[in-house]
Amino acid sequence: MDELLTYGRRRTVVVTGADSGLGFELVKQYTERGDRVFAGKYRENWHRLEKLKEQYPDRLDIVELDVSNEKSVDKAAEFILERTKGIDILINNAAVWLEHGAGTILDGKLDFEAIMAQININALGALRVTQALIHAVLNSFDQLVVNVSSEAASMQECSKDSQFGYCMSKAALNMASCIVLNGIRKAGGSVMNLHPGWMQSVIGESPDPDAPFVEPARPGTVKFYTTPEITAKGFLRILDEPERFSGHMPGFVNYRGDRMNW
Ligand SMILES: NC(=O)c1ccc[n+]([C@@H]2O[C@H](COP(=O)([O-])OP(=O)(O)OC[C@H]3O[C@@H](n4cnc5c(N)ncnc54)[C@H](OP(=O)(O)O)[C@@H]3O)[C@@H](O)[C@H]2O)c1
C-alpha cells in the first residue's frame, strides 16, 4: 500500500540542522512515508543524509545551510525555491547548546560570546530562514512554520540558575513565533513551537547518540527519556493535525502533544 494513503497527500517539508539527531530523523520519517523533503546540511564529513538520498533520490534534496549566515540562507532559499513553489511545513530545528558547565550569575564567568552565538543560531537562525521562505510557506496547503523550542524557553517552568544563552535563545524563538504568527495569520498561516523532550542526541549531551535507548524503569533513573526517533514520530502525528493546537498564540506542545507552559 502506498504509505501516502495514510496521510492523504504529499507534503513538501523543509528541515534545518538535518545532519543528526531530531533533524535527521524528521527528514527520514517524512521521506520514508513519501513526502518531498529539503534537508539543511551543516556538518561536514557526515554522510547520513547522502545515504538516505541514495534510497530516495526523487523525494529528498540536500541543501547546504548555515542558519547563522545570511548569505548561506539566501543561497539555500534560492536552491529550494528553484525546485518548489510551495512549502507545507518549514521546521526550524537547527540549534546549538554551547554552555557546558556554564556559570551562574554569582560566578562572574558568563561566556557572552557563547551566549550571543546561541541567540544568533537558535533564535535569529530560525527567523532568517523563515523570512527567506515565508512566501513559499504561505503558497502551500498547510502553511505551517514549526520552531523546535524547548522547555528551556518556559518562564513558568524555569528552575535553572545557569545556561543563560540556551534558555534565552529558546525564549526569544518563542517570541519570534508569536510575532511571525501575527504577521501571517490573515494569510492563513500558522506557527507551532514544539518541545522534543529530553532526547538522546548531541545537544542532549549523550556520549553516544546512536547507543540503544533504554526506557526508564522509574522517572529519574536514567538520563534520556526519548530518542530522536520517538520524538520525530510524535512530531509527525502533531503536524498532521496542527489545527488541534491553533489559537491566538502559536501552539506550544511537547512531542506527546501535551501543552507546555509559556
Ligand atoms: N536533545 C534534547 O534533549 C533537546 C531538548 C529540547 C530541545 N531540543 C532542540 O531540538 C532540536 C534538535 O536538537 P538535537 O537534540 O537533535 O541535537 P543535534 O543532534 O545537535 O541537532 C542540531 C543540529 O543543528 C545543527 N546546527 C548547528 N549549528 C547550525 C547552523 N549554524 N546552521 C545549521 N545547522 C546547525 C547541528 O550541527 P552540529 O552538530 O555540527 O553543530 C546539528 O546537526 C534543537 O533545536 C534543540 O535545541 C533538544
- pLDDT 10s digits, 91-107: 999 999 998 767 899 99
Domain ranges for the chain: 3-254
133 φ/ψ angles, rounded to the nearest 5 degrees: -115, 0
CA 234 to chain centre: 13
- Rounded distance between C-alpha atoms, residue 151 and residue 171, angstroms: 9
DSSP 45-61: S--HHHHHHHH-TTTEE
Q: How far is the CA of 92 from the centre of ligand 1 (A)?
A: 10
Task: Give the number of other CB atoms < 10 A from CB of residue 144.
Answer: 23
**pLDDT score, position 1:** 43
Per-residue confidence band for 52, with pLDDT thresholds at 50, 70 and 90:
very high
The whole-number average pLDDT for the span 118-130 is: 98
In the chain, the percentage of residues whose pLDDT exceeds 70 is 89
- Rounded distance between C-alpha atoms, residue 235 and residue 121, angstroms: 22
Question: What's the fold here for domain 3-254?
Answer: Rossmann fold (3.40.50)
Look at residue 186 and tell me whether its pLDDT is greater than 60: yes
- pLDDT 10s digits, 62-91: 999 999 999 999 999 999 999 999 999 999
174 pocket-lining for ligand 1 (C-beta < 6 Å) = no
Q: How far is the CA of 1 from the centre of ligand 1 (A)?
A: 34
Q: What's the alpha-carbon Rg for the chain, to the nearest Å? A: 18
63 pocket-lining for ligand 1 (C-beta < 6 Å) = no
196 pocket-lining for ligand 1 (C-beta < 6 Å) = yes
Model pTM above 0.85: yes
Give strand pairing partners of 156.
none
The mean pLDDT of the chain is 91
Amino acid at 94: A
> Residue ranges of the alpha helices (H) in the chain?
21-32, 48-55, 70-83, 112-118, 125-138, 164-184, 228-240
251 pocket-lining for ligand 1 (C-beta < 6 Å) = no
Q: How far is the CA of 17 from the centre of ligand 1 (A)?
A: 6
